[in-house]
Amino acid sequence: MKKRYVLFIAFILFSVISCKNNPKADSAENRTIDPFMEQLTIEIYDSIALTIIAPDATIEILAKGFYWTEGPLWIDELQAVIFSDIPANKIYKWSERDSLSIYLESAGHTGEENRDSDKGPNGLILDLENKLVLCQHGDRRIARMDADLKNPQAQFITIADTHEGKKFNSPNDLAMDRAYNIYFTDPPYGQPGNKTGEIKINGVFKVSPDNEVSLLVDSLSWPNGIALSLDQQTLYINQSDPENPVLYSYEIAEDGSLENGKILFDFLALAENARGLPDGLKIHKSGNIFATGPGGVHIISPEGKHLAAILTGKATANCAFDTDQKYLYMTTTDLLMRVKLK
């Protein structure tokens, strides 16, 4: 009896030790590690970035299953972020309260026959009257939604669709200044074969409050994301050219033209080892630039210094802050993601 007891105790001790050394025996240690999630990291290159983002901040996946997400925009009135899915011709909405829903259909190529068009909306902003303004690939224009934000409808008023009588290629991204001028890029994405249309240029344009269109730059190969500095004296433009993937900065002259253009940051070395090209960008309240590019979202100072990178593991199209800049929302191929900021 005593021998059996000793053997039983020995068996229990062996089992406990085996469980501690066997990861399969501990469910907490046996969680499947997603290789993709392991790629989601934050790299700090300059201590200045530590005032903006923590190196251990969690990058969250909020929604997935899209074709190509773009143009995130936080709407305080809805307490939600909306974003485009270009091939689906839809705008989606995501909020903490309601999660994911379709916000607007036929959003970039209008008309019932174009509901399933692959030429949907891209960049989104709110104008000074809190109206939604869109870059529409299918309709090849900048337009304002003629409906309340809480009751979206596929009804639009054209702001600009031509320059000197020629249709735009496919307006991509946009920004508005305090004087109600809209700056936007017009690369050939959305055109057959991604070739420049009848306008013959891939331009950067400005639309005045009275809808007068001015050409600002016609020398960029693939102008894409666009943003204004906090003092609205500088215009930043990302160029999505695989041969010359760079971020430009231009000074805005008193007459509204651009001058002293220069390459602020060159992404070429990063593009050799990471997915994606320079695309959308936003300006943080610190004045630093959050620019999507190879690998994810890069934080770049106004002087062109690389401060940090938010590595998403995907080609990242665009990003947006919420009102308090507590979170950065990112559209990355088929995902909507976010990361908490300081």
Confidence band (pLDDT; 50, 70, 90) for 28?
very low
The lowest-confidence range among 84-98, 104-118, 289-303 is 104-118
With cut-offs at 50, 70 and 90, classify the pLDDT of residue 34.
low
For the ranges 4-18, 26-40, 205-219, which has the lowest average pLDDT? 4-18
Confidence at residue 188, expressed as pLDDT on a 0 to 100 scale? 92
The mean of the pLDDT values for the chain is 90
Could you write out the DSSP letters of every residue in 191-240? SGGG---TT-S-EEEEE-TT--EEEEE---SSEEEEEE-TTS-EEEEEE-
- Reported as type and span, the H/E element at residue 269 is helix 268-271
* Mean predicted confidence (pLDDT) in 286-299: 98
- Report d(CA 66, CA 55) in Å as an integer: 28
- Pull the structure tokens for residue 246: 């760079």
Q: What is the mean pLDDT of residues 154-178?
A: 97
- Residue 17 is encoded by which pair of tokens? 């030790």
Q: Which two tokens stand for residue 154?
A: 């596929």
Domain 64-296 has CATH 2.120.10.30: yes
φ and ψ of 204, to 5 deg: -115, 125
Q: What percent of the chain has pLDDT over 70?
A: 87
Q: What pLDDT is attached to residue 18?
A: 37
- Residues near 108 by beta carbon (within 8 Å), at least 6 away in sequence: 84, 86, 89, 117, 119, 120, 121, 122, 134, 135, 136, 137, 138, 139
Say how far apart CA 56 and CA 327 lie, in whole Å: 14
- Residue 250: what pLDDT? 98
The pLDDT > 90 percentage for the chain reads: 83
- pLDDT, position 173: 98
pLDDT, tens digit, for every residue of 118-158? 789 999 999 999 999 999 999 999 999 999 999 999 999 99
pLDDT the model gives residue 10: 40
pLDDT at 16 over 80: no
- Average pLDDT score over residue span 23-31: 36
